[in-house]
């Protein structure tokens, strides 16, 4: 039984700074017996395994999406055994709302999660999440790394309650290994202590940001993503012996800031050959504050001079360094995914495992003179999404169907023949895995709450933007946000972009007279599309 699960320490290379121990794993195991329904489900169905691979802040910067410079051979090989979705959109370009929406199968307005702080359980306490649903149907569910948001692991979703890997915090964003960066951290910690900020003692050094990038002569396991992959490989080996269907999520942190990676991944690139964004300006006809997304990077010690989107573009050398670091971080994560997939194949588990790789939102690398996520534009809402492995017939194909992250929950239920809960707000994409060219959704929807992040906090009122993406257009409506009532107030402005003539979304057409009828049609479609998600469905 899985209740007998044990994890051993690894014999790491001498220059590795950590030993991997899955803390408290032996104390918190799955229930000693399954319900009769669960036993029957496992016995009577040949249930496929699920390998779930969330990647933080990953935009469609992959070889399989047409980037000829990026080095992502393992993700590209994964795509060759599955379907790559060219037009998948997140429901909000912020980590917590995006992940909460995907994992509950409900849109942000239904779970009322629009920021980094809100725990979806506060608003929908009885909702059954995607891994929790598989757990209820006889699966062993295990979550490593970042699946739900960092601070909200949602322990009820997992058969085994994950704790952090020894030597790393549970939220390992700001893990540094070079003396330069650890010295910066210690200096900042001392300043906070001198100022009487005692909270730093509880948060630890990982709370403190040093530089935005790091090149280090270390093994992969010196950073969290490598270490958790080593652990995930041992977990796969144990699951192979268990002979029970599993839902294993291995959530990768890179390429989230800081862009830290072993030197060998930096060495894959010539910095001067990496192209910079060619639209480093605010969309014509849109206010600069809607671009947003610069505050996160500015918080790092070497990036305080990052300009606002309304100002002149950043120094070209800094742009190249950041983009080089982002590419190195992606290649580092790609290598870890390769290790994971190789072990899956070596164990003979690949033939009955559905593999799902997704990014939680995009990320601006100078586009619209922004450097982060957190907008309603294509560059931030479009995400990489691949379904591969068991049950996928159209191997190596691409689909241009408009799809959404909220569709993942019903899709996996469909593929595993578990039945799709009726309250889910997405739709199964399973038919596209056989016929990727099927006529599909007419629109995808996203939203963003402006005013809770960075310098936009100074805006008098928070503002909510609702976006609809059709085959040709992106249309956005902005409203004042009533904080107390948690609903939209008066209309502010609209944005319209024609992807047939303007794929980079550089010209807002919403106020041009010749587009009046298109704006009216899209506005009606947008408001009709969002209306069904409120009030919150009964669960």
User: What is residue 491's three-state secondary structure?
Assistant: strand
At 17 the pLDDT is 37
Residue 281 pLDDT grade (very low, low, confident, very high; cuts 50, 70, 90): very high
Is the pLDDT reported for residue 337 higher than 60? Answer: yes
Percent of the chain with pLDDT over 70: 85
Phi, psi of 26 (to 5 degrees): -75, -15
At 531 the pLDDT is 53
Residue 204 pLDDT grade (very low, low, confident, very high; cuts 50, 70, 90): low
| Mean pLDDT, rounded, for 267-291 | 96
Percent of the chain with pLDDT over 90: 75
> Which of 194-198, 350-354, 369-373, 451-455 bottoms out in mean pLDDT, i.e. has the lowest?
451-455
> Which of 54-63, 234-243, 378-387, 524-533 bottoms out in mean pLDDT, i.e. has the lowest?
524-533
Is the pLDDT reported for residue 326 higher than 50? Answer: yes
Q: Which is nearest to 392 in space by CA: 333, 454, 435, 441? A: 435
CA dist., res. 76 & res. 64, Å (int): 5
Are 451 and 425 within 8 A, CB to CB? no
Tokens found for residue 164: 């952090």
Give strand pairing partners of 416: none
Are 35 and 137 within 8 A, CB to CB? no
Residue 29 pLDDT grade (very low, low, confident, very high; cuts 50, 70, 90): very low
Q: What's the first-to-final CA gap in the chain, in angstroms?
A: 31
> Which of 67-76, 339-348, 520-529 bottoms out in mean pLDDT, i.e. has the lowest?
520-529
> Which of 132-141, 178-187, 527-536 bottoms out in mean pLDDT, i.e. has the lowest?
527-536
Give strand pairing partners of 144: 250
Distant-in-sequence, close-in-space partners of 17: CB < 8 Å, separation ≥ 6: 167, 177, 218, 222
| Mean pLDDT, rounded, for 158-186 | 84
- Exposure letters 35-51 (e unless 16+ CB within 10 A, then b): eeebeebbeeeebbbbb
For helices 316-346 and 73-80, the axis angle rounded to 10 degrees is 50
At 285 the pLDDT is 97
At 206 the pLDDT is 56
| Mean pLDDT, rounded, for 97-110 | 96
Is the pLDDT reported for residue 536 higher than 80? Answer: no
Sketch the domain layout of the chain as residue ranges.
2-51+85-174+209-531, 175-208
Residue 173 pLDDT grade (very low, low, confident, very high; cuts 50, 70, 90): confident
Residue 205 pLDDT grade (very low, low, confident, very high; cuts 50, 70, 90): low
User: What is residue 470's three-state secondary structure?
Assistant: coil
At 460 the pLDDT is 54
CA distances from 265 to 327, 370, 425, 441 (A): 8, 25, 40, 39
Q: Is the dihedral of CA 282, 283, 288, 291 positive or negative?
A: negative
Burial class (CB in 10 A: 0-12, 13-18, 19+), 98: buried
At 166 the pLDDT is 75
Is the pLDDT reported for residue 405 higher than 50? Answer: yes
Give the chain's mean pLDDT. Answer: 88
DSSP 81-137: TEEEEEEEE-SSSSHHHHHHHHHHT--HHHHT--SSS--HHHH-TT---HHHHHHHT
Residue 45 pLDDT grade (very low, low, confident, very high; cuts 50, 70, 90): low
For helices 408-415 and 95-104, the axis angle rounded to 10 degrees is 30
Are 111 and 123 within 8 A, CB to CB? yes
CA dist., res. 332 & res. 225, Å (int): 9
> Which of 17-26, 94-103, 454-463 bottoms out in mean pLDDT, i.e. has the lowest?
17-26
Q: Which CATH superfamily is domain 2-51+85-174+209-531 in?
A: Alkaline Phosphatase, subunit A (3.40.720.10)
| Mean pLDDT, rounded, for 260-277 | 98
At 151 the pLDDT is 75
Q: Is the dihedral of CA 206, 210, 212, 217 positive or negative?
A: negative
Are 114 and 449 within 8 A, CB to CB? yes
Residue 189 pLDDT grade (very low, low, confident, very high; cuts 50, 70, 90): confident
User: What is residue 49's three-state secondary structure?
Assistant: strand
Q: Which of 43-47, 93-97, 169-173, 194-198 has the highest mean pLDDT?
A: 93-97
Range 484-489 contact pairs with CB under 8 angstroms and sequence separation of 24 or more:
486/112, 488/464, 489/461
CA dist., res. 421 & res. 436, Å (int): 24
At 201 the pLDDT is 60
| Mean pLDDT, rounded, for 15-23 | 37
At 294 the pLDDT is 75
Query: Catalytic positions, please?
Result: 95, 149
| Mean pLDDT, rounded, for 386-397 | 97
Residue 169 pLDDT grade (very low, low, confident, very high; cuts 50, 70, 90): confident
| Mean pLDDT, rounded, for 158-164 | 78
442-496 per-position pLDDT tens digit: 999 999 999 875 444 444 578 999 999 999 999 999 999 877 777 788 999 999 9
At 402 the pLDDT is 98
- Exposure letters 395-409 (e unless 16+ CB within 10 A, then b): eebbbebbbbbbbbb
Q: Which of 143-152, 194-203, 217-226 has the highest mean pLDDT?
A: 217-226
Is the pLDDT reported for residue 1 higher than 50? Answer: no
Is the pLDDT reported for residue 168 higher than 90? Answer: no
| Mean pLDDT, rounded, for 368-380 | 96
């Amino acid at each position: 039984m899985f209740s007998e699960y044990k994890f051993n320490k690894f014999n790491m290379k001498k220059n590795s700074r950590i030993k991997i121990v899955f803390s408290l794993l032996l104390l918190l195991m799955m229930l000693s017996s399954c319900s009769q329904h669960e036993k029957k489900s496992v016995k009577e169905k040949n249930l496929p395994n699920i390998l779930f691979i969330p990647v933080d802040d990953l935009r469609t910067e992959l070889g399989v999406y047409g980037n000829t410079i990026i080095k992502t051979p393992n993700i590209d090989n994964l795509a060759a055994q599955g379907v790559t979705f060219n037009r998948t959109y997140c429901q909000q370009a912020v980590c917590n709302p995006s992940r909460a929406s995907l994992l509950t199968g409900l849109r942000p307005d239904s779970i009322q999660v629009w920021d980094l702080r809100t725990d979806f359980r506060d608003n929908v306490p009885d909702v059954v999440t995607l891994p929790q649903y598989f757990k209820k149907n006889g699966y062993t569910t295990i979550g490593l790394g970042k699946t739900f948001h960092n601070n909200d692991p949602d322990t009820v979703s997992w058969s085994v309650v994950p704790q952090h890997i020894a030597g790393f915090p549970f939220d390992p964003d700001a893990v540094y290994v070079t003396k330069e960066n650890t010295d910066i951290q210690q200096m900042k910690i001392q300043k906070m202590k001198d100022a009487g900020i005692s909270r730093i003692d509880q948060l630890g050094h990982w709370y403190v940001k040093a530089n935005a990038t790091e090149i280090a002569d270390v093994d992969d396991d010196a950073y969290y993503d490598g270490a958790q992959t080593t652990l995930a490989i041992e977990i796969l080996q144990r699951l192979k012996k268990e002979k029970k269907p599993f839902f294993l999520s291995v959530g990768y942190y890179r390429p989230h800031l800081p862009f830290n990676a072993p030197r060998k991944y930096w060495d894959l690139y010539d910095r001067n050959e990496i192209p910079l964004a060619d639209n480093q300006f605010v969309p014509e006809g849109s206010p600069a504050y809607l671009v947003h997304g610069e505050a996160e990077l500015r918080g790092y010690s070497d990036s305080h001079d990052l300009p606002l989107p309304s100002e002149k573009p950043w120094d070209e050398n800094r742009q190249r360094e950041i983009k080089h670091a982002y590419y190195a971080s992606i290649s580092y994560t790609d290598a870890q995914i390769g290790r994971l997939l190789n072990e899956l194949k070596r164990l003979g588990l690949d033939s009955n495992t559905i593999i799902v790789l997704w990014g939680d939102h995009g990320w601006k690398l100078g586009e619209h003179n922004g450097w982060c996520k957190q907008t309603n534009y294509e560059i931030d809402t479009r995400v990489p999404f691949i379904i591969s492995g068991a049950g996928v017939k159209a191997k190596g194909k691409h689909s241009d169907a408009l799809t959404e992250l909220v569709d993942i929950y019903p899709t996996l239920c469909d593929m595993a023949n578990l039945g799709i809960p009726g309250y889910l707000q997405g739709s199964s994409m399973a038919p596209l895995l056989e016929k990727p060219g099927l006529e599909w959704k007419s629109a995808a929807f996203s939203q963003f709450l402006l005013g809770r992040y960075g310098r936009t906090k100074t805006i008098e009122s928070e503002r909510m933007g609702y976006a609809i993406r059709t085959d040709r257009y992106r249309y956005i409506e902005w409203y004042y946000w009533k904080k107390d009532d948690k609903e939209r107030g008066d209309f502010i402005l609209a944005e319209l972009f024609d992807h047939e003539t303007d794929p980079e979304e550089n010209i807002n057409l919403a106020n041009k007279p010749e587009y009046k009828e298109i704006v009216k049609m899209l506005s009606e479609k947008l408001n009709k599309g969002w209306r069904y998600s409120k009030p919150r469905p009964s669960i």
